[in-house]
Every structure is written in structure tokens, then in C-alpha cells.
Amino acid sequence: MSFKYPVVMPKMSMTMETGELINFHVAVGDHVKSGDVLFEVMTDKIDMEVEAPADGVIEALVANPGDVVEIGKPVLIMLTEIEVMAFDFGTDGEPVAAVEVVAAPAPVVAAAPVVVAPIILNETVKAVPKARVEAANRGIDLRTVRATGPDHTISMEDVNGAQLDPAIAKRQAANKALIAKGIEMTRSIAQASFTRSVNANFDHATFIAAWAKVLRNRPDLAAHEHVGVALIIESKYGSALPVFRDPDQVKIADLTALVASTTDAAKNGKVPVAMLSGATTTVFDLTTYSMSSATPLLFPNQVTSVTIGYESATTKIVSLTIDLNFCDFYDGALLLDALVASL
């Protein structure tokens, strides 16, 4: 007995309504294993890979590369030997179940995407160091930049005048729009912030584990049965928000390795889809920019957020923002004191 399973466009951020299909990693008739990458999606923040939920065979490719697909709409159809329920990616409505196959339709083969190669102006690149750094941060291929400096050297002015890769430019624009939307939402929430100075001898793994342990004692502040700590990671593609579920219940060595590998993946535009949902709080690290404080966003379904700011070589500033609709000033002070005490 075979079951027909629609692999749909997942909801990978709280504001995501559609996703653009970049390409397929499979073709009709391919046999896949659970966890194999099926296709890549461009979201409003970053590129993501969608994996097979079970072993099976690709029956049909419903969408085409370049299509903008609504959340919950099928991208491809799989045939599986077991009945599979769709993963909870935050889509509205009931989960999608696989259905028993009665008569399989003829497979639909997606058209191959048209790839336009960039115009290479300089195979051998000479550039000033600052220009190389700026180009790397903005995702600009220096070979495509017209050099106007001495001895055909690329200057900062050349990089500033260069065009971004269209895909990266699109993601950066979407990221700015998302931040603006989040700021507008934050203004409508009654909130308060609390600040403490702490020793700087902790890393991200230690911090999110300590914060999760504090929140575990306050299940009334979570929208899920688990504690999910989203850590904002910046890259040339924009901001990624991978979620670490119940980090306080993971061995610190394992959590440290997971945070490191996830950070590397995020900076390369590859975060597992399964890590993009289920956040109950968010952590912002401002020390990357040598900033001490900022007003963090309170995302929907979250009533707390924490920032880590730079104070000195030996101390950091930890700030907690709370939604006053769910907890009061006294709660906020107690939460921050508990976090600082556990670091």
C-alpha cells in the first residue's frame, strides 16, 4: 500500500506568507530517504533546504523554480509506504495527512531554471583590503566589479558603486521590511526593560541554556510546551533566527557544538527548516557591533526578549524586555536577577 504525501511550502518565519522556490534537488521517479534535501526555498530572510519527511518516491513536481508559493500549498508529491503527518511549520489549519493512492496521475516534470551567468570583468582581482571585506559582507563578486584605482586595483568607491547579487539584494530588502514591521508591532505593545552588568566569561551556549532554565520555571510565559530560544545570527543574507529547543536539557558540550554548527550554517544561508519554528523567547547579541544596548523586538507569541551588550573587556550588559500584558515590573526584575545569578 502506498500513500500520496504533499510536501508543502513551510512557514519558516512568523511573518512569512509565501516562499520562492529556487530549485529542486530531486526529479520525478527518484527514490529518497528521510532527511534527503528535496528543494530549496528563498524566504523573506534566508535560503532554506526542505527535507523529505520519510522514505519514498517522487511522484510529481507541482511547482516550478521561480514560482512564489503560498504557505501550505504543495511543492511536490511523494509516494510513501507509511502514512505521514505533515510537520508543524506553523501553517494555519489542521496538519496535512498523506492519503492512500487510488490512481496515480501522470508525473509533471518541472522546467529547468534559466541561469544567467554574471559578467566577469576581472579574472585576476586586485583590491584594497577594505574593499575585499566590504565585498564579502555584501555578497559582491569582485570579479564583476570595474576597477578604477591605480594599476586596475578595486577601491572602496568601486565596491560601493557595484551592484549586489539580485538574490542577496532581494533578501536584504525583505529583511529591512521585516524589521520595520517588527518595530511597528513593538510600538503597540506595553513593555518594560531591565538591565544588569555581568561578567563576560560566557558564550552563546551557556547563555541560552541559563535563560531556558529560568524560563522553565515560568511556563505561563511560553506559547509552547517546550522552551525555545531563538538566537539572532547576522550574515550577508540578512538575519536568521534558528531556535534551540530545551537547550537547558542538553549537555553543554553538545549544545556548544550545535550552536557553532548552526551559526556557520546561518552565515552560509543554510539553516535546517526544523529549527525555524517554536520560539518562546529571542536573544540578540549586540557585542558583534560593539553596542551596549538597543530596544529589542518582542515577536508575536513571545513575551520576553534578551539582549547582550558590550560594556568592557571583562563585563557585558544584559537587558531583558517584557510584555507588561503578561508579567509586571516585579516579574521582570526577578527573571533578570535569576538569569544573571545563573551565568
Same domain, 202 and 64: no
The predicted-structure confidence for 160-189, as pLDDT tens digits, reads as follows 877 655 655 665 565 566 555 555 555 556
Answer yes or no: is 10 within a domain: yes
Answer yes or no: is 121 within a domain: no
Q: Please classify residue 312 by burial: count the beta carbons closer than 10 Å to its beta carbon, then call 0-12 exposed, 13-18 middle and 19+ buried.
A: exposed
Nearest one of 2, 3, 77, 69 to 40, comparing CA atoms = 69
**4 backbone dihedrals φ, ψ, rounded to 5°:** -95, 125
Q: What is the pLDDT of residue 75?
A: 92
Q: What is the pLDDT of residue 93?
A: 36
Answer yes or no: is 175 within a domain: no
The angle subtended at Cα 175 by Cα 209 and Cα 190, nearest 5°, is 65
Domain containing 242 equals 190-342
CATH code of the domain containing 154:
4.10.320
Same domain, 202 and 303: yes
Q: Please classify residue 226 by burial: count the beta carbons closer than 10 Å to its beta carbon, then call 0-12 exposed, 13-18 middle and 19+ buried.
A: middle
Q: What is the pLDDT of residue 4?
A: 81
Same domain, 90 and 144: no
175 or 6: whose pLDDT is higher? 6
Question: Reduced to 3 DSSP states, what percent helix, strand and coil does the chain have, rounded to the nearest 5?
Answer: 30, 25, 45
Answer yes or no: is 135 within a domain: yes
Lowest-confidence pick of 111-115, 204-208, 220-224, 241-245: 111-115
Answer yes or no: is 134 within a domain: yes
Same domain, 71 and 152: no
pTM of the model: 0.52
Answer yes or no: is 183 within a domain: no
Confidence of residue 229 (pLDDT cuts 50, 70, 90): very high
Same domain, 200 and 330: yes
Whole-number Å distance between alpha carbons of 170 and 166: 6
Same domain, 271 and 315: yes
Answer yes or no: is 293 within a domain: yes
Q: Residue 329 pLDDT > 70, yes or no? A: yes
Q: What is the pLDDT of residue 161?
A: 75
Same domain, 303 and 228: yes
Total count of domains within the chain: 3
283 or 271: whose pLDDT is higher? 283
Q: What is the pLDDT of residue 172?
A: 58
